[in-house]
A and B are shown apart, each in its own frame.
Chain A
Amino acid sequence: MAAVVESAPKPASRLRFILDRRDVLGGVFVAPAILYVLLLVGMPFLLSVYYSVSSYTIYNPSWDFVGLGNFADILEDPVFKQTLSNTFIFTFASQLLGLVLGKFGAFLLLRPFPGRKIVRAIIVLPWVVPIALATVAWQWMFDSLYSVINWTAIALGLITREQAPNWLGTPQLAMLSVIVVNAWRFFPFAIVIFLAGITAIPQDVLDAATVDGAGFWRRNYQIILPMILPIMAVGLIFGIVFTFTDLSIVFLMTNGGPVGATSVLGFQGFQTGIVSGDVSHGAAISLFMLPVLLVVVILMLRFIRRREI
């Protein structure tokens, strides 16, 4: 005869449903992101702040505090001043060019035409091609001897062989070249942003503007542009932040040359801090990006909030 064992009601474990609690689950989900930001963004940032006020170099890894001495050093360096202005020119010129191209592209792609899908797919290529590959291709196009641009112009009789510009060997042309390449990379992104913005405008609003007597330009600049400004601002923030900190195109195409004409902050920071091993000065150079980026981001965010519709 089996004894009847009365099983005591099992107390529900406090931990069993712990993941059902919103506050716990939320914390679990957010933790990886917070860890990522702290370890891979926060730590290096604080480290670079410390490097910039120390005398740390690869050959003499001392942590001696030197105050703002490193900043004073680089501010006296004429190459750095040029780098700083180069960075602004590079960033704003390529963003402007990219936005203009993006707006044109978006308007062309807005209306349906045969093969639009294929064109849309092709047009995002500059954005998805690895930057190293794309830059090498551009390097050949700007080459002093083999430039396909020059040869085309010569063949068309626009210039003679003697007049052919040395794209990457002349300071202004070299700057123009890196700007063009960066704009070329940025404009598909701008197209996507513009397309998203324009297609989000209700058709009724555009029709109302037409009936109210607005022609193409008025519709464009008084209705469409103001309405897509917020999303455009977001795109521009990304564009500015990425371009201002970018060194890849300069590094791959001109190596900062000729004589520093295309050197930008990221590139010079890398050259000084990593290649030359002067970590403290490299960190100081890189930190010059911080106030600019901070101001840009704050301005843009405030702007977006004000224009919110």
Chain B
Amino acid sequence: MAAVSTRDIVKKFDDVPAVNGISLAVPDGEFMVLLGPSGCGKTTFLRIICGLEKQTSGDLLIGGDVVNDLPPRARGVAMMFQSYGLYPHFTVRHNIAFPLKTQGVARAEIARKVEWASQLLGIAHLLERRPRQLSGGERQRVALARALVREPTALLLDEPLSNLDAKLRASARLEIKQFQQRIGVTTIYVTHDQVEAMGMGDRIAVIDRGQVRQVGTPTQIYDDPADRFVATFVGTPPMNIVARNGGYLGFRPENFLPKEMVDGGACTEFSFRVDRSEYLGSERIVYGVLKDFDQSQVVTAKLPPAHVAEESIRPGEWHAFAVRNSALRQFDKDGRRIARP
């Protein structure tokens, strides 16, 4: 297990930059999530770390050593692919043993480690099956066992949950996180799903157009977004951004409440015309516009249904809403965050 760090990694495909200068340091044992929209370069970056792609420029360090010119097998990293990449003609046992065989590990040692990995992931009863005889969740565990079996320097996961159904995804999220904590392996996890990122990451690196926008803990990313991109990419519904005084003002929908519900502390009032509201059981999402602001800018409020009076969100009418000043975020005209006073 080792720290992974990159210095100004650039990757161009025919002059089109996919990764545009990423410098990232992942300390030993950390669970780092790379979060970004499709096509932002996060998967390319991951493939550079494991050696499937060669960066155009920049340095990659694993355990303090520059590994730019080492082939994938010499880097000691393990990768789990989106569709798992299990070998369909091998049994589960053979699949898990494969990375050990390529390293010439002794037969008895292979048997012992396959046993260990399959016990760890609860797939010991599946060892003689072939991948096509497994369910999606079982395949994912086999892929994880295959990645973990040789105790990699770093574990790279490329959207590992995207092939699972929603229910399974929630439990798999928990499992992966638990394994990672138990084994303590440095993990880099790529996803476009902010729920996965927020729920699993020790830290999150938000990536857009081949560049890191912000690196921080889930709390930092959510509460103190570095720019408008991070503010609107993380959170459902995203942070409301309205133009004001040549800059932008941002506030989270859950902080945008009917005035009578904002208690204590200084707050900023808005006149809010409700256009539509959605009842989602645990919450109510209300859409509308603000008086004296751009009328094409839809603003959302996320309200606890039990505590909101019907008349305070009646559609078509103007209501007094407010945001506590401590929940307001300001951005300059380029969308960069202005530090809180």
Residues of A bordering B, CB below 8 Å:
202, 204-215, 218, 222-223, 226-227, 307, 309
Contact = CB atoms under 8 A, between A and B. Distances in A.
Most chain B CB neighbours (cut-off 10 Å) among A202, A213, A218, A226: A213
Closest 4 CB pairs of A and B: A208-B85, A204-B85, A213-B102, A213-B73
B81 interface: yes
B85 A207 contact: yes
B295 interface: no
Given A205-B88, A212-B146, 13 more contacts: A204-B83, A207-B52, A207-B79, A208-B81, A209-B87, A211-B73, A211-B79, A214-B98, A215-B73, A215-B102, A226-B89, A227-B88, A307-B89
Contacts of B47: 207
Interface in B98-140: 98-99, 102-103, 130, 132
Nearest to B99: A212
Nearest to A212: B99
B233 interface: no
7 contacts: A208-B81, A211-B72, A211-B77, A213-B73, A215-B102, A227-B89, A309-B88
A210 B83 contact: no
Interface in B182-232: none
B87 A205 contact: yes
A218 to B, nearest CB: 6
Contacts of A227: 87-89
A208 B83 CA distance: 10
Nearest to B102: A213
A212 B130 contact: no
Contacts, number: 67
Interface of B: 47, 50-52, 72-73, 77-79, 81-89, 98-99, 102-103, 130, 132, 146
Contact of A210 (B52, B86, B130): B52
Contacts of B79: 207-208, 211
Contacts of B77: 211
Nearest to A214: B102
A309 B87 CA distance: 10
Contacts of A215: 73, 102
Contacts of A307: 89
A210 B75 CA distance: 11
A213 B85 CA distance: 14
Contact of B81 (A207, A218, A226): A207
Nearest to B52: A207
A281 B146 CA distance: 62
Contacts of B83: 202, 204
A90 to B, nearest CB: 32
Contacts of A211: 50-52, 72-73, 77-79
Nearest to A203: B85
Contacts of A214: 73, 98, 102
A209 B87 CA distance: 8
A210 B99 CA distance: 10
Contacts of B132: 309
A209 B130 CA distance: 17
Contacts of A218: 102
A307 B130 CA distance: 11
Most chain A CB neighbours (cut-off 10 Å) among B52, B82, B87: B87
A215 B73 CA distance: 8
A212 B102 contact: yes
A213 B73 CA distance: 4
Most chain B CB neighbours (cut-off 10 Å) among A209, A215, A226, A307: A209
B76 to A, nearest CB: 9
Contacts of B88: 205, 227, 309
A205 B73 CA distance: 15
Nearest to B75: A211
Contacts of A205: 85-88
Nearest to A206: B85
Contacts of A226: 89
A151 B150 CA distance: 59
Contacts of A202: 83, 85
Given A207-B81, A207-B85, A213 B52 contact: no
A214 B102 CA distance: 6
Contacts of B99: 212-213
A211 B89 CA distance: 18
A126 to B, nearest CB: 32
Contacts of B50: 211
A199 to B, nearest CB: 16
A214 B82 CA distance: 20
Contacts of A206: 85
A208 B73 CA distance: 11
A212 B89 contact: no
A218 B71 CA distance: 15
Contacts of B86: 205, 208
Contacts of B85: 202, 204-209
A190 B210 CA distance: 42
Given A211-B79, A307-B89, A204 B102 contact: no
A222 B97 CA distance: 13
A219 to B, nearest CB: 10
A206 B99 CA distance: 13
B2 to A, nearest CB: 16
A214 B95 CA distance: 13
A204 B84 contact: yes
Contacts of A213: 72-73, 99, 102-103
Nearest to B130: A309
A218 B102 CA distance: 8
